[in-house]
Structure 1
Amino acid sequence: MSDLPQQDIYHDNARLDVAPYIPAGARSVLEVGCGKGGFGPTLRRALGDRARIVGIEAVPAQAAVARSGHGFDEVVDGYFPQALTGEERFDLVCFNDVLEHVVDPWATLGAATDLLQPGGHVLAAIPSIQYAPVTISLLRGRWDYTDEGTLDRTHVRFFTRGTMTEMFDRAGLDVVTCAGVNSVYEQRWSRRSPLRRAWTTLMPDAEWLHFVVLGRLRAGGGSRTV
């Protein structure tokens, strides 16, 4: 594994895999754990110049990069939600590869719902523990942490598609979309292997490195339902 600080390993990722699921009507957005800000330009292209886009990032060096030419109106230093001191409410709160790093992602998601405007959305990209290379390695008796990916050495929570949607439901969010992205056939495998194709036929969710979940705040929803 790398000796670099963990945040320095991650790329300045535009998250184009998440872009199709950004709600078109959002006019105020909070990205939690925005890192170096790669998703900022993606949000800006999707929502236009009139949208207010705010990031929050716990690593000051990463936040400083995000402030420079990444389309954010503001980047807050600190941890979510404690660093947000105002009363601002958002149409959309985003978590890209964040919730799996949090000891209590259920409470974190609940805190996000408290920041939503009525009818607002939460958008999250979450790695799936059913990803085929992980499940096959487990059957072979291996669970090896890595610098990046599903078994990232800083992940403390692990989810399947079903437990992702349950978490959203408990937070008072109706799941609008739960879509697999980043196919193993794009990332790791060739479709030429009959055994590998059979594995993802038997376990369709195993094809996907991530699921993108979009949830809409239900009437009366919020963290009190968690």
Structure 2
Amino acid sequence: MYIDTFTSQGKIFDQVSHGSRVLEIGCGSGRLSNLLSIWKQCKVYCVDKDPASSFLAKGKCIEIINTDIEKSELPYENGSFDHIILVNVLEHMIEPKQVLMNLKRYLSEDGSIIYSVPNIVNWYSRMMIFLGKFEYTDGTVFDRNHLRFFNLESGRNLAIDAGYRIVWLDVTPSVYLYKDKLNFLWYKLAKIWKNLFADEFLILAKKQN
């Protein structure tokens, strides 16, 4: 099973410790959880509020809970996980900062929260708005289910305001091609001019001491 290092899932996969205890919020089909279980021997638990996603993820993690984390508490002890992962989930939340604050107690002493959020101010979004276009779509930064929008500063402040310290920050390129050398060039541009060329911001943060 292949995982692309230029995608948010690929980059987050690289940040997860071998054999660690992982909670993935908004697991979708369970692909990342499955990769972590098989390739890194992680003990992965999943949460998703979509029944269809919960069905698809069955068998790819130890347990999957079908619930909305903004409305209910999770049945886990304090300090249960070394990593809590949210891949493109927080933009769908009513109060994403509160979600991060609530999840903090489930982290082990040196545990980390790892999340990605889409970038609303990259060149494509700017061009569309400049041309007077703002059409809701499925699966893009203009997704019809997005409740929150982020640039680099607000994506970073989400963790800081929730009481975390940022340990790692990365991006994915806003142009994705099927040649690694070209993807690498776009990735380098996104690393230098994050707001302009990044598609997503990825952050790993730990609890403040």
Q: Same fold (TM over 0.5)?
A: yes
Query: With structure 2 as the length reference, what TM-score do the two structures score?
Result: 0.82
Among 140, 146, 158, which residue is 2:137 paired with? 146
After superposition, the C-alpha distances for 1:58-80 in whole angstroms (9 at most, x for unaligned) are: 12222121013x2x111111111
User: Following TM superposition, by how much is the alpha carbon of 1:44 offset from its aligned partner in structure 2, in angstroms?
Assistant: 2.1
Task: Specify the SS of the correspondent of 1:150.
Answer: coil
Q: Which amino acid aligns with 1:212?
A: L
- Separation in structure 1 between the aligned mates of residue 129 and residue 191 of structure 2, nearest angstrom: 18
Contact 1:14 1:42 in 2 (8 A): no
Percent of residue pairs bearing the same amino acid type = 21
SS at match of 2:139: coil
1:99-118 correspondence runs (5 A): 99-118=90-109
- Aligned CA distance change for structure 1 residues 178 and 14 (closer, same or farther; 3 Å): closer
- CA offsets 1:103-129 (integer angstroms, 9 cap, x no match): 110111111112111121000011011
Matched letter for residue 128 of structure 1: N
The match for 1:21 among 1, 15, 21 is 15
Taking the aligned partners of 2:62 and 2:25, their CA distance within structure 1 comes to 14
Q: Return the alpha-carbon distance in structure 2 between the equivalents of residues 180 and 34 of structure 1.
A: 20
Q: Which amino acid aligns with 1:55?
A: C
CA offset digits 1:86-107 (Å, max 9, x no partner): 4252111100110000011011
Q: What is the CA deviation profile of residues 122-156 of structure 1, one whole-angstrom value per residue up to 9, with x for unaligned ones?
A: 00011011221111111222221111111111001
Contact persistence 1:176–1:215 (CA under 8 A):
yes
Cα distance per residue 1:5-58 (max 9 Å; x no partner): xxxxxxxx9922432232x2662111011121111123224532xx32100111
Superposition deviation, residue 184 in structure 1 = 2.5
2:185 corresponding residue in structure 1: none
**Superposition pairs of residues 1-226 of structure 1, within 5 angstroms:** 15-22=9-16, 24=17, 27-45=20-38, 47-48=40-41, 51-68=42-59, 70=60, 72-80=61-69, 82-87=72-77, 89-181=80-172, 183-186=173-176, 203-219=193-209
Tell me which amino acid in the other structure corresponds to 1:84: L
Letter in 2 for 1:149: T
Partners of 2:86 and 2:46 in 1: CA distance: 11
Given that 2:8 and 2:116 are in contact with CA atoms closer than 8 Å, whether structure 1 keeps it comes out as no
CA RMSD in angstroms comes to: 2.7
- State the match for 2:4 in structure 1: none
Contact 1:96 1:126 in 2 (8 A): yes
Secondary structure, aligned partner of 1:177 = strand
The number of aligned residues is: 193
Structure 1 unpaired stretches of 5+: 1-12, 192-198, 220-226
Change (3 A) 1:14 1:215: closer
Find the structure with the greater CA-based Rg.
1
CA contact (8 A) 2:100 2:159 kept: yes
- Alpha-carbon distance in structure 2 between the residues aligned to 1:108 and 1:186: 30
CA distance in 2, matches of 1:29, 1:171: 20
With normalisation by structure 1, the TM-score equals 0.76
Deviation string, structure 1 residues 176-195 (Cα, Å, up to 9, x no partner): 111111x133259xx8xxxx
